[in-house]
Amino acid sequence: MKKIKFLIFILSLISHNLFAKTMLLKCDTFIFKIDEPIVGFKKAYIIKEKEWSKIRKFKVTDNNYVLKNIYPNQSKCNNNKCRVNIVLEKSLKDKNYLSYKSVVSNEFCSIDGGNKCYVRKIGKNLEKGYCSKITNEDISFENNK
């Protein structure tokens, strides 16, 4: 009986490590979900119109998560053509926040400066800030449209 309990204990420890690491992040008005299984493909999602939408272009490096071809959260200089790459800090320590920056990925992005929209060059930062880790209970669809 002790051998069976010990075997169940060992199997539960091993199986726990095989599940995907899932992070939910709130970055200003963006909400992202990143799944990193030990075996298989990494996936990223964004909330659009109150539903999870898969981010098609997603890259993981040693230092960052890069979410590509995202609509920025601009109100003043929004032209619905601008796309950015969201670069999220990847930390070895388990922190409750990660820094991020949105990097211009096409020629249609502008930034507000004194009530005038100025074109930002490809590769330049559009905005930056911090993402906080959240739980499913923290997700509010009222502010995310």
* Structure confidence at residue 48 (pLDDT): 87
Q: With residue 121 as reference, give the H or E element that holds it.
A: none
Largest CA distance in the chain: 75
Q: What is the pTM of this model?
A: 0.75
For 8-32, the pLDDT digits (tens) are 656 555 554 455 678 899 998 899 9
136: DSSP letter: G
Q: Please tell me whether residue 135 adopts helix, strand or coil conformation.
A: coil
Identify the segments of the chain with pLDDT beneath 50: 16-17, 143-145
